[in-house]
Chains A and B, each alone.
Chain A
């Protein structure tokens, strides 16, 4: 849940990258960290990793400037994607303001994508909220592997599998090449902040 500090005129919100293991969540954050150094309020922290697998979470604080006279800060998180880290995922997801679901375009990961989305839905439910109520953007990652002749799912199929009911905006991406990463986070930020603006008006 976003923190409004009316005295300091500051808003701090939380966006979480979700998705199955090895889909590119951390790669997204790494690209953002490299590309937007000016807006980065601190260091990207990975807690903890086994090799290059996220065990706990990644964290990246960003400053976005002012909205309606308030300083807007964003905390970006990733969750560990492997099935066994369910309780950690749930903890990181607490009080989320915006979501980016990173789906793996590899055909062999089709089922994992769907299970991860179901896991997200259930974790949000356990917090008394709904996947339909949190600003959400879909990212269909690893599109670059098509050039290597690796079987990928068509975007249309991924959208049918994952987004038929949610009807969230989606972006093709290759996080490792930085393609689609800025567009995804910008859209999520836009939706998250619009949502927060509504709350601000109510608070006023």
Chain B
């Protein structure tokens, strides 16, 4: 093709792409046209042509920068926020609180944090979703990089009669885990009677590990409906030993602590044969999970085993198990 025709064609394409909003493609065509002009000394007014193209490219770059710098999730009007909440709050069989939680989560995921925080604050009044709402409030603050505000929220809740000690402990460990991951050193208020030293060790293992958090690009990806609803409250577990001298033996343990699909058991140091078999990484294919409403069969994996160094359970072992299937 004649260079002149090529240039005309490229400029036409570039203009069209620009009108289509395909700014990078337009820029690329302008560049190609410029290259041809530079390589074709016979083209009249080559310099003026290039100067004109350069102006267009400068314009394009400004538009591209504007788009890149614009807020990816701008705050929208109240009516649009209400629509977001309505459309994404899960209809059908969802109960009111679940629906409200989903609506608030949708607002947060669309970047409407102020409104989401208001909604989550209201849900703190609801026992069934209080902890999940509190965790989501924390997540919102973390997402907008207001880490100190997240800490202050927790400290405000410490003096709030709505929260039980157990609920506060769950929130504190959740928040502490997030702070650790973010490298934010901030002591969180801990009441004297919160937990004993050995329970503290146990509970700390229940916080989301850095590896779990690292997989997720944004804390909002974590947002879920109440963890308590997603996984049954498990009171005790039955474990059938997979290997060793006691292969096939079913033993039952009380669950001392549960976070989502992770449970913690305390095993007496007298159970030496058992303790030999249950090491980090042991896959437990035949487990029974005893909850108030059902007995489920499933599997799990031992994720940690630690000997308790002090307190009434000194010498016993703390075992973490992650539930894989139920």
Contact = CB atoms under 8 A, between A and B. Distances in A.
Contact of B76 (A48, A59, A75): A48
A53 B67 contact: yes
B17 A52 contact: no
B76 A87 contact: no
Interface stretch (B86-94, B162-170, B283-291): B86-94
A50 B67 contact: yes
Interface string A174-199: 00000000000000000000000000
Given A87-B109, A149-B12, A52 B21 contact: yes
B218 A87 contact: yes
Contacts of B20: 22, 106
B278 to A, nearest CB: 32
A91 B87 CA distance: 11
B112 to A, nearest CB: 10
B92 A45 contact: no
Contacts of A45: 80, 83
A88 B91 CA distance: 19
Interface string A37-57: 000000001011011110110
Nearest to B90: A95
Q: Which secondary structure dominates chain B's binding surface?
A: helix
Contact of A91 (B76, B92, B106): B106
Contacts of A50: 67, 70, 74
Contacts of B218: 87
Given A53-B67, A108-B22, A109-B22, A91 B74 contact: no
B27 to A, nearest CB: 12
B80 A47 contact: yes
B22 A149 contact: no
A200 interface: no
7 contacts: A51-B21, A52-B21, A53-B21, A56-B76, A59-B83, A85-B72, A108-B25
